[in-house]
Structure 1
Amino acid sequence: MFDYLESKIHDECGVFAVYSRDEDMDVVADTYYGLYALQHRGQESCGIAVNEDGVIRSHKDLGLVNEVFTPEVIRRLGKGQMALGHCRYAPYKDRTRSSSQPMLVRHIKGTMALAFNGQLTNAVELREELELKGGIFHTTSDIEVIAYAITRARLNAGSIQEAVETAVDRLTGAYSLVVMSPRKIVAARDPQGIRPLCLGKIGGSDVIASESCAIHAAGGEFVRDIAPGEIVVIDEEGVHSIAHACGQKTGLCVFEYVYFARPDSVVDGASVHRARRRAGAFLALEHPVQADVVIGAPDSGLDAALGYAQQSGIPY
């Protein structure tokens, strides 16, 4: 019997990308620190792709960030001007190295690396359509479907951002997508803004991350959230915004505030720590109890427990 929950629900991942204009900046190290800060979003596998003068090389494997990226692996990745990282949560049946990200694609128009956090609701239909046109899939991950869609669009598009614009029109569901080409980084957020994605800076360099905590961990500063439906292009001239599918009804997944995000992150303008404390306070108002002590569990429940204790007067 097909187990839908085991096979399909796997959208808690973290993405991080950096475009450097500083020759002394170590983009691999910054990406490592960013992924380490996003480790709570995925512990099954991780990977980093680094772009040095248009040549993209990568390393990915099963395991935690500090296990996969040993000093020797980081040394082999070398230096570069851009890097893209990903840490992945996956169901047990899909915990394979081949399904790890970033995915590296070499096609007639060049090379690109892709990583995303989310879940496509039309992945099965798109996959079947691509297979009937000769597409060969090696993984069960939605990122391979996205890679095919962008690659096919790139054949007739004048740039990678045009290809991404065309491809995302065919995607439905939740996604925060980052694509690294030989010269650009392109990030896209789904029109409903279900998954978070934000923009930051490290000195004169630009950063894309799932959460603001990753930008701070890499020594940068948070600039703003990427809007639902927005496509952001980062190149040698700076940051460019394309309001591709903005203006639709939005709805961030409530579990970002309840469970997924780190408490020191700011998601869509709201502090996760404050949101959890307020949730605990509202719970105390709506469901008062006679108790001796308030305890939070797991760690994501600590802030809510503190809010409950403060509102109810029960010791924390």
Structure 2
Amino acid sequence: MKFKKVCLLATGLVAAGVAIATSGCSSKSSDAKLVVSTFGLSTKQMRSDVLNPFAKQNNVKITTQFGDSSTRLTQIEHNPNSAVDVIDLAQNNAVTGAKKKLFKKLDFSKIKNFKYLSSDQQKLAKDTNTVPYTLNSLGIIYNPKKVHIKDWNDLWSSNLKGKIAIPDFTTTFGPAMLYIAGDHAKVAVPSDNGKAAFKAIKDLKPNVVKTYSQSSDLSNMFKTGEISAAVVGDYAVGMLQATDASLKYIVPVSGTYANYDNMGILKNSKNANAAYKFIDFRLGKAIQKKVASASSLNNAPVNSQVKLTPAEAANKTYGDIAKRAKIIDFYYVNNHMSAWISQWNKIMNQ
């Protein structure tokens, strides 16, 4: 198959707002292909900083599926013969996919940069057959002209009635919101299976304008004044501040909850060699440094060779923030997910 250098074409939409695009970046003839399923946030930067450079360097034609993590996982689960080779998932979805045996058992000797991950990150990879490529965490973004927030407990203040947005339970940081509510109630979620936390969520409801599914929804809500504050993953901070530079982002000193984004190769992948190269490429020092930029994907590095300056580390799960970020046991969470979704919906959506 011949195609011109740097060709990128959006070819359509599929269910639930998941976009399909083709990226072929080579001046040479090639039969190598790769289908990548990834997040729908910062798609322009994903193409320019990750997909196109990999395609050009390896003479591979890439077809890309964009969308939220849970929707893309569901599609893969319901279509075991999907053409997807590599999928990017939030940690909880990676755990779910591993439990359902959707991924190929990885040969880590084929991933040269794997050795630069921490022992905990390597363990996560071996437990799930998906490799973490960035770490993100939860914070609060707010309009300082309207409110002032220092701590998670401030979200429950009567001064914020009808002024905040929080992630829906089925999103990446939905479970983390429950854990924050448990901290507010001073009862750890695993100690009572979330009973006190859900009571705190009920107490929070008067302050919540919306439980959102996509971080991009928040831009217009801040712009129109519909909300004054939102609980949000750090990966969305750059996008939100680009639309309103006055917005302030904090990670409370009391701590936060973190999530790894992982890459897995689908069990039925027909392009496993290219998939291994893609995973190794994204763990490499150069690309990890590049996508850490606020003008790129704002991805905190997992490669231990990458060092960020204080300015580069801003709004990332890195340094002091990483040290006070707690990792949720998603094996535990996923065992309770169905019941918790039902409880959440009864409180927030009725």
TM-score with structure 1 setting the length: 0.29
Is the strand fraction higher in 1 or 2? 1
TM-score with structure 2 setting the length: 0.26
Is the helix fraction higher in 1 or 2? 2
Structure possessing the higher relative contact order (Cα contacts under 8 Å, 6 or more residues apart): 2
